[in-house]
Each structure stands twice: as structure tokens, then as C-alpha cells.
Chains A and B, each alone.
Chain A
Amino acid sequence: MNSSVIIFPGSNCDRDMAVALKKFGFKNKMVWHNDAELPKSDLVVLPGGFSYGDYLRCGSMASKSKIIHSVIKFAKSGGLLLGICNGFQILTETELLPGVLLKNKYSKFICKNVFVKINNSENKYFKNIKKNILELHIAHNEGNFFCSNDQMKEINDNNQIAVHYCSQNGEIEDSFNPNGAIKNIAGLFNKEKNILGMMPHPERMIDNYLSGEDGSIFFQNLINNLK
């Protein structure tokens, strides 16, 4: 399976993502933001970081970068496009996903482990996944997902919520919401479910010595579904 990780100036989880993809069997290529064409890919990843310094708005300048046209084309033709953290912010800025990611409710950067519950597993990302509550890691300042009522209706009608913040046992409640995201949304699909944006970083949870191993479950499952 071929994957591509896009590097924007200011990306800083690009290497971590590449390490994770390779670990689970992807042949990965790094792609520079100023390139026009994507290499042949089964999966394209927009990694975390502070693309273009997060100036203007998080993800906003990246959504106008040179490579992004090819990325949009790739996704619109059904290619799997995964955006993590800043990547999720870029996906909302390009309007490939609805809504926006606002500043965290308590106006603080948060770096810690959280639990998320998978809401929709009828897709390439979560089909057959062996756990429906995953412990993942967040590290962001702007992860407070927000959208209009109309957008929310559409999101619900199309079953687009990918993962919710929850307790260890899967309760989706306010007290387990780290950033104030509406309906505890931690990750979102497009209607077709080939695009996934997530605030949590599965790539930081790929071995026992790091923050945990549930990221491994995510990547292993993803590549199994693609084979």
C-alpha cells in the first residue's frame, strides 16, 4: 500500500506519521507543499503541526497551497484522505469537511491522553476494528469543533461523526470533553466516508513505551482494510 504525507512549512508531526505508516506496512513518500502532483497513493495524510505558523487561522494558508489542489482532486475521486490535528483544521478550511475548529474552551493548549468512542465503523478506517473505545493522545490549542445547526443536521443525517470524546467506559459526557467540541466530536467524516479528520494523534500511540498502543490498532486495521 502506498501512502503520502504532505509537508507544509511548519508541519511537525510529518516524521512521526511516516514512522507509524511504515511500521504498519505502508510504503510512504513525503510530499512537499510546493509540488503540484501527488505520487500514486492509496492514502494521503495531512499531518499535525503549525502549517504556515497557523497565521491568519489554523490551516487556512495550507488550504491555499500548491499541492492542495491535487489533494482535493484525489479526495473527490474517492481517495482516502486522513487529516490529523492541524490536518483536520486544514480539511475544514478547504471545506472538504464541514464546521470549524475553534480555540479550546479553556484557552489552553492541551497535551494528554483521551478516550474516544467510534461512532461509525462502516468505512475503510474503522471497519472490523477490534475495539470501539480507543485511548489516543491529543496535543492542540484549537480543537473545539463547532458548526451551524444546518451543518449538524447534515452531519447527523449522513452519520458523519467518526469519533466522540468519552470516558474509559465509553460514556459521552461533558466532563470527558477536553476542549469544548460540540457533541464531543473528536473526528469527522465527509459524506462519502473517504475523508477523515481527527484531533487525536494515533501516530503517537504506536508502542507500549510511548503514551499507549491503541494507535497501533488504528493503523493495523486501516492497512488490513485497504489490502
Chain B
Amino acid sequence: MEVNENIALEHGLNKPEYKKICELLKRTPNITELGIFSAMWNEHCSYKSSRLHLKNLPTKGKKVIQGPGENAGVIDIGDDDAIVFKIESHNHPSFIEPYQGAATGVGGIMRDVFTMGARPIANLNSIHFGSPQHKKTKNLLRGVVQGIGGYGNCIGVPTIGGQTSFDESYNGNILVNAMTLGLVKKNKIFYSKAAGINKPVIYVGSKTGRDGIHGASMASAVFDEKIEEKKPTVQVGDPFTEKLLLEACLELMEGDSIISIQDMGAAGLTSSSIEMASKGKLGIELNLNKVPCRESNMTPYEIMLSESQERMLIVLENGKEKDAKKIFDKWNLDFSIIGKTTNSKKIELFYDDKKVAEIPVDTLVENSPMYDRKWKKAKLPKKNKFSKENFKNLKIGNVLTKLLSNPNICNKEWIWEQYDHTVMGDTIQKPGSDSGIVRVHGSDKAVAATVDSSAVYCFAHPLTGGKQVVCESWRNLISVGAEPIAITNCLNFGNPEKDTNMGEFVECVQGIGEASKYLNFPVVSGNVSFYNETKDKGIKPTPAIGGVGLLKNFKNMITMDFKKVDNIVLVIGKTEGSLDQSIFAREILNIKNGPPPEINLFNEKNNGETVLNLIKKKFIMSAHDISLGGIMVAIAKMCIKAKKGIKLKKTNQLINQFQYLFSEDQGRYIVEIEKDKFQEVKEILNKSSVHYDELGHILDKDIIIDDKTKLSIDDLVKSNYTWLKGYMDK
């Protein structure tokens, strides 16, 4: 087929990009070459709209072993142990085919982690759906949850946490972000950079089929009414093969025969081979007849662009082929020497003894387009004025019941009971906690992880929202007693070619950067997903942050359930009464404008470090960060988990109790302390200039808010647990 501009446009390239390709090659590309350019230059692989802004994120730190640019980030957790972790989106495929889309999202991120030599020890996810009333939501949710479970459960890696939200902005574009943490010895980390010439290039894993061709391009475009036709671009996962691939790769990695290894993710064989060559400043020569294929008569174009799952590319030391093959034979996996490294700095492809493509590697990577897209700065919305009038006729009990059963607050057991969260025998904090925690097998250490996002705040003011998500992640780690170390980010946005969407991206990234820099909580890996838009309607900006922290001794971890009757409950951090953008204002008062709560990074850091210090000194019996729904929802959850109650002291602050109990000011925690330790705790808090309120004390049952309001725990449990089950099993 003769390539021309129209064919290039069909491949998702634009006219100037096509022109640039012809100039770089000094000729017209053939169809295979065009396919390779389109795969490497699409948004998903090239980060052409985001690169310029991502550069500004803080990525270094004392504990950072590897920042962005590799398959995943790596941090030091002491004693020669390191944690490899990353979050990645699989949004577009999951909307088209929820089970396979979500399953292969999980498979892909786990491969990114074990490619680096780490055994995956925990999975998390952040999933976002349209309004519960939307006709597609229920099936999408069911499919995604089964897909995530179907893959992770089979591999035998526990899913220890996550986040689910519902918002009508996801009606036409759901979000599925999957995160994996792996454990590796510091001196056994593997990288994708190839080195040396004439080294064998090995293909291992599943055979290549016609599935997922142009998957990465599909994920780099907006959806239209013909979206169903894109089903063939969704990959099909086989977790069993991935389990074998995992064990085989880790077995091979015990030796010293691997020079470089790269999984075949987005854009399959194309991006993996080019990545290795580019990083090693080498060339690569592949004989496509040697690629194990599932179907007959696959063309070079199809072989290079297939996104079949569970495949890896390895550059081996010479002479190690036989031993390596033995391992893959044992695990019943394909093993084929498909090429070699060269000094040509080109990718050269052969098929039926003919050269079918020849492209200088730098034209695909360094010379890929980078855009400084137009973006619009968001104005900080004006604050609403609240008065007693707003709260007239409201009863705290009714408000709390309504919030606890709200889709975005209600208990998500229906979801996480479908995930194996206990396999590997080290899960010590399960989903539904502030962070999930797994022990570092056979040691006293444990790793905590959380995924968070706050699209409502980011939509109201991207800069503040970006900061807030990082702070929330930091708080969730501290609440379980973990020292926050680093984050990974999954940046889900609309169409970058629109200045408002691009502005949301730029300012969220700026906010993330500011907060992570201030908190010394660097970004070590991540992924950008643009074009989450259908028929001109984009999603709310949804950066998801995956945070990882360390507990030096897992026995010191903190859980959120109240522990003992009569213990004192404190609010750490000052309650200013920010109701704008709170779930109370939006859902109860129906006020949806206004700015998100302000972020004061000094207080955030000071409050967090002080809470962590109190935990280290063993003063804290239980803790929980205050987020959606304010103080009231936070204590209700602590009561529900413990099946205990609380008696609140009278508060005379702010307009009234509604403002005090439901505002969503940041940097706050609820903590439980023993009565006889109160004096010492007060001294520490005062010395650290941390504001606190004495909220009340723990009761055996019932939440007593004032003389008129007494709520039974059983009723609250019911409100919190029934919505999702009722919705899904109806």
C-alpha cells in the first residue's frame, strides 16, 4: 500500500507531523514505518502535550533510587530492600470492554513492576464511573471490578486498597487506574537500557495476535458515536500466562544473563524495542519471521503494532541463550531469538528476507513532537457566604445518614470483597482503611500505600486541587503510622487541544509539584491519559495520586477503629469552616460553586509530622484523616469500624455545629488518646504549634451529638453499608 497524507491522518497523525516524518526520513515512509511512527508519536507514548510540564515535577530525594523514565519508580526502604511502584491508566479500553480493559490494565502495570526485577506484593486501583443513574454505569462497574479481580486474583497478588467515585462527568469516559508495588533487592534491579552490540534480542511470553492493534492510538483520541467499532483495539488478557511469565522472569533474573529487559505494553514490540535501543544509544535488528504468532499470515505492520499481552523483550549476554531457554521451557512459554543489537542507531526490520522498515531511532524518540499547547489559567471562584438560614430545618442525624449512604462515601465492601486482598499472607491493613499495608515478607517492616483523587476540587480550582490530592495521600499514610516516601501519579484529563482542559492539566501538575516538593514527597513514576472526552464533553480533571510509605515496625501501625470507651478524641488541625465544594454543600445544600478548601502547606506538614511523632511515641490509639464529609463523617466511620460510639462536647465555634462538623478544611486528623496521656499530648501539640480541639470521648455505643441528637451505631452501619449492595444486586 502506497502511503499518503490521508493514510497518515487515519493513523491519528496530523499534517505537519506527517510532513516532519517525510523530512526526517528524507522519503515517504512505507506502511509499516508509518504504523511505527504513529505508535511512537501518539499522545500515549510520546507525552507530546505533557512533557514540557512534567519536567517541573520534583523527582529526586534521598530515598529515590529511580525516578520517572523507567518502567516504574524505585525507592529505598532500607536493609538493601527497595520498592518498585507505578500507577497507570487503562481508561479508554475499559469503557469499550470493561472486563478485558480493566484486567489488562492490571496485567500491564504488574509487568512494568516485575520487568524491573521486583516481585509484585500489592495492587491498588482508582476507578471512576458516571452517575449511578446513567444506564451504562452498573454494567461498567461490574465488568471493571470483575476484570481487576479476575486478573489480580489469578496472579496471586493482593489488592489492598483503592478508591471508587461516581460523577456524571465520567458518563462517557470511565477511569480505570491500576497501581502495583513490588519488592526487590537494591542490587537486583533491572533496567530497559540495552548495552553492547551483537547481543541477542529475545522474545518471551505469549504469542503475538491481532488484538490491541492501535490500542495506544485509540487511547490518544476522543470518543465518538462509533466507539463500539473500536472493540478490536482492546487487548485480551491471560493472567495464567502472566503468572508463568512472572515466575520465569524472576527465575532468570536470579542469574546475571540479562542486560536489559522491557515489557511489551502500549505499542507492543515497537515501543519496547525502540525504548531499549534509544536508551542504550544503539540500533536494533529484528527478524519478524521469528516472532511467535498466534495467527497465520500476520503482516510486519500487524506484528509490530499488536498489543497482545504477557510478552517481554530481553537483551541477553552472549552465550546465555540456552540456559535462559531452559527456564522458559520449564514454564511452557515461548522463547525466540528474534534479533540482535547493532551499532547502526536504527531500527531495522526484516520479513521473508526482505528489509521492511529502516528508521533512525532518534527520529522516533528525541525528534518526536513536543507541543507547548495553549492553556487558560483558572480563576479562583468567589466564596459563598453561609448563614444560619442555610442550615434551617436540617437535622444532623438526617444529614449524616444521607452522607454515609452517598455513593462517594458509602462502604465499598461490595467491590473489594471481589478482590483477593489476603493472598501472600502479609496483608495487615485491608481495603477500607486509610492506607492498605503489607508486611515486607519475613521482616519487621511494612509498606503502606494509598490512591487518592479529588476531581471536584480540581475542577473548582486546578492549582488548589492538585496540591490537595498530594496532601490527602500524605495524610492517609500518616494516619496508619507510615512515613510518607514518594508518589506516583496518573493524570487523567480531557482534550489537551482545548485551552481549558490544557489549563486544568498545567495547573494541577503545578499544584502536585508544589505540594510534593514542600512535603518532600517526590514523584517517581506516572502516566498521562488525555482525551477522556466524548462528543465534546470532557471529564473533570482527575489526577490520581498513589502514595507509598514505610513502617519500620509493622506492630506500630495504627488503624482507624476507636479502641476504648472513655478515651479522648481530638481533632488535630484547625477547623476554619470551609463549606464550599464540600460534599455537604453540594449534596445537602445544593450549592455547587465556590473554591475548594485552601491548602496551607506549612500546616499540612507540621500537623502531619506532629501526628507521626505522637504515633511513634505511642500516644495514639486510633487515627483517621478528615476528608470528604468533614469531622462528622470521619468520626462516624471510626465508630462504625469499631461498633462503638462517641459523646461530642458542645462546640461554640463558627456559625453552628453544621459548619464545624461538615466543613472540609485540610490538614486535619481525628486521633484517639488515653485520658491519662492527655496532658503530655497537649504539651507536645502546643510545643509544635499545632491547633487541636477536644471533640469528645468514646462511648460503648451511640453517637451523642447534643441533648437532642442521639444516633445508634446500628443505624449508621446500615446507612453506610447498604447503598452499593442494593444498587448492584438490584
Contact = CB atoms under 8 A, between A and B. Distances in A.
Interface of A: 9-10, 12-13, 15-16, 19-20, 48-50, 52-55, 106, 108-112, 137, 139, 141, 201, 203-204, 206, 209-211
A201 B153 CA distance: 14
7 contacts: A52-B240, A53-B241, A109-B150, A204-B422, A210-B425, A210-B428, A211-B422
Interface string B118-158: 00000000000000000000000000001001100111100
B149 A16 contact: no
Given A9-B331, A50-B243, A209 B418 contact: no
B419 A19 contact: no
B160 to A, nearest CB: 11
A9 B146 CA distance: 22
A53 B240 contact: yes
Contacts of B439: 209
Contacts of A53: 154, 238-241
Nearest to B422: A204
B127 to A, nearest CB: 16
Given A52-B240, A106-B729, A210-B426, 5 more contacts: A12-B154, A53-B239, A139-B420, A139-B422, A141-B153
Contacts of A19: 425
A56 B688 CA distance: 63
Q: Give 7 closest A-B pairs by Cβ, nearest first.
A: A12-B156, A53-B240, A16-B425, A209-B428, A139-B420, A50-B154, A109-B418
Contacts of A50: 153-154, 156, 239-240, 243
Given A9-B244, A10-B240, A111 B425 contact: no
B419 A49 contact: no
A203 B331 CA distance: 26
B427 interface: yes
A137 to B, nearest CB: 6
Given A12-B423, A13-B423, A19-B425, A109 B153 contact: yes
A13 B418 contact: no
Nearest to A203: B425
B417 A111 contact: yes
B423 A206 contact: no
B418 A110 contact: yes
B156 A13 contact: yes
A110 to B, nearest CB: 6
Contact of A15 (B331, B332, B424): B424
Residue of A12, A19, A110, A112 most packed against chain B (CB within 10 A) = A12
Nearest to A206: B425
B554 interface: yes
Contacts of B540: none
A222 to B, nearest CB: 18
Nearest to B153: A109
Nearest to A141: B153
B421 interface: yes
Contacts of B419: 109, 111
B1 to A, nearest CB: 38
A15 B425 CA distance: 9
Contact of A55 (B240, B332, B427, B555): B240
A55 B154 CA distance: 12
B149 A109 contact: yes
B420 A109 contact: yes
Nearest to A17: B425
Contacts of B427: 210-211
A49 B157 CA distance: 11
Interface string B399-432: 0000000000000000011111111111110000
A179 B611 CA distance: 43
Contacts of A209: 428, 439, 554-555
A115 to B, nearest CB: 16
A49 B417 contact: no
A12 B331 contact: no
A53 B420 CA distance: 16
A221 to B, nearest CB: 19
A48 B153 CA distance: 11
A198 B610 CA distance: 47
B61 to A, nearest CB: 29
A111 B238 contact: no
A119 B554 CA distance: 37
A47 to B, nearest CB: 10
Nearest to B243: A10
A54 B239 CA distance: 11
Contacts of A12: 154-156, 243, 423
B2 to A, nearest CB: 44
B249 to A, nearest CB: 14
Nearest to A19: B425
A74 B13 CA distance: 65
A167 B421 CA distance: 22
Contact of A111 (B150, B155, B422, B424): B422
A210 B554 CA distance: 11
A111 B154 contact: no
A26 to B, nearest CB: 16
A169 to B, nearest CB: 17
Nearest to B429: A209
A45 B457 CA distance: 52
Contacts of B416: 111
A19 B439 CA distance: 14
Contacts of B729: 106
A203 B149 CA distance: 21
A110 B153 CA distance: 10
B238 A137 contact: no
A48 B154 CA distance: 10
A141 B149 CA distance: 10
Contacts of A54: 154, 240
Residue of A9, A137, A201 most packed against chain B (CB within 10 A) = A9
A49 B422 CA distance: 13
A110 B415 CA distance: 10
Residue of B425, B427, B729 most packed against chain A (CB within 10 A) = B425
A16 B424 contact: yes
A206 to B, nearest CB: 7
Contacts of B420: 109, 111, 139
Residue of B154, B156, B419, B555 most packed against chain A (CB within 10 A) = B156
B417 A112 contact: yes
Given A50-B239, A50-B240, A53-B239, A204 B425 contact: yes
B418 A16 contact: no
Contacts of A13: 156, 423
A11 B729 CA distance: 31
A142 B105 CA distance: 24
Nearest to A51: B240
B239 A16 contact: no
B240 A111 contact: no
Nearest to B419: A111
A174 to B, nearest CB: 16
Residue of A9, A111, A209 most packed against chain B (CB within 10 A) = A111
Residue of A54, A141, A206, A209 most packed against chain B (CB within 10 A) = A209
Contacts of A211: 422, 427
A140 to B, nearest CB: 9
B180 to A, nearest CB: 15
Contacts of A49: 156
A139 B423 contact: yes
A54 B155 CA distance: 12
B153 A139 contact: yes
Nearest to A204: B422
B243 A111 contact: no
Contacts of A206: 425
Contacts of B422: 111, 137, 139, 201, 204, 210-211
Interface in B200-252: 238-241, 243-244
B417 A110 contact: yes
Nearest to A32: B330
Contacts of A210: 422, 425-428
A53 B333 CA distance: 14
A49 B729 CA distance: 27
Nearest to A9: B244
